[in-house]
Structure 1
Amino acid sequence: MKAEMDKLDLDGALWRFALEFYARPGVAEACLTLQDEAEVDVIQLLAVIYADLVLQQSLSSEDVAALHLQAQEWRAATVQPLREIRRFLKPARDGFPEERHLLREKVKAAELLAEQIQLAMVEQWLGRREPKPGLPLPEIVGLLLKDGAPEQPRNERAIGIALSTLETAMEAIIRSRGNARNLSDQ
Structure 2
Amino acid sequence: MLEHDNPFWRFSLRLYGIERIKHACLRLQDECQANVNLLLFAIWAAQQHLRFLPDRAHQQPQLEAWHQDYTCILRRQRRQLKVLADKGEPDEKEGLLHQMKQLIAEAELLSEKQEQAMLYFHYRQRQGLTPCEDRQAALIENLARCLAADSSPDPETLHILLTVVLDDAEAAEASMRIIEFLAHARPEAP
TM-score band w.r.t. shorter chain: 0.7 to 0.9
Residue from 119, 122, 125 that aligns with 2:122: 125
Structure 1 residue ranges, 4+ long, deviating more than 6 angstroms after superposition: none
Alpha-carbon distance in structure 1 between the residues aligned to 2:44 and 2:25: 14
The CA RMSD over aligned residues, in Å, is 2.4
Residue 148 of structure 2 aligns with which residue? Answer: 146
Residue 36 of structure 1 aligns with which residue? Answer: 30
Q: Which runs of 5+ in 2 are unaligned?
A: 168-190
Structure 1 residue 169 corresponds to structure 2 residue 164 = yes
Alignment of 1:81-96 (within 5 A): 81-92=73-84, 96=88
Per-residue Cα deviation, 1:117-172 (whole angstroms, up to 9, x for no partner): 1100110111011663455321221122135x4xxxx6x4x632211110112237
Alpha-carbon distance in structure 2 between the residues aligned to 1:115 and 1:32: 14
Alpha-carbon distance in structure 1 between the residues aligned to 2:104 and 2:114: 15
Alpha-carbon distance in structure 1 between the residues aligned to 2:23 and 2:86: 29
SS of the aligned residue for 2:52 comes to coil
Alpha-carbon distance in structure 1 between the residues aligned to 2:124 and 2:37: 16
Structure 1 residue 26 corresponds to structure 2 residue 28 = no
Larger RCO (CA under 8 A, 6+ residues apart): 1
TM-score (norm 2): 0.73
Percent identity, aligned pairs only, is: 29
Q: In structure 2, do the counterparts of structure 1 residues 78 and 43 end up closer, same or farther at CA, with 3 Å as the change threshold?
A: same
Per-residue Cα deviation, 1:88-138 (whole angstroms, up to 9, x for no partner): 011246995552111101100100010001100110111011663455321
Structure 1 residue 56 corresponds to structure 2 residue 49 = yes
Aligned 8 A contact 1:45 1:144 in 2:
yes
Aligned 8 A contact 1:78 1:114 in 2:
yes
Q: In structure 2, do the counterparts of structure 1 residues 125 and 94 end up closer, same or farther at CA, with 3 Å as the change threshold?
A: closer
More deviation, 36-45/94-103: 94-103
TM-score (norm 1): 0.74
Residue 10 of structure 1 aligns with which residue? Answer: 4
Per-residue Cα deviation, 1:55-100 (whole angstroms, up to 9, x for no partner): 2222221235434x24011111110110000000112469955521
Residue from 59, 66, 71 that aligns with 1:74: 66
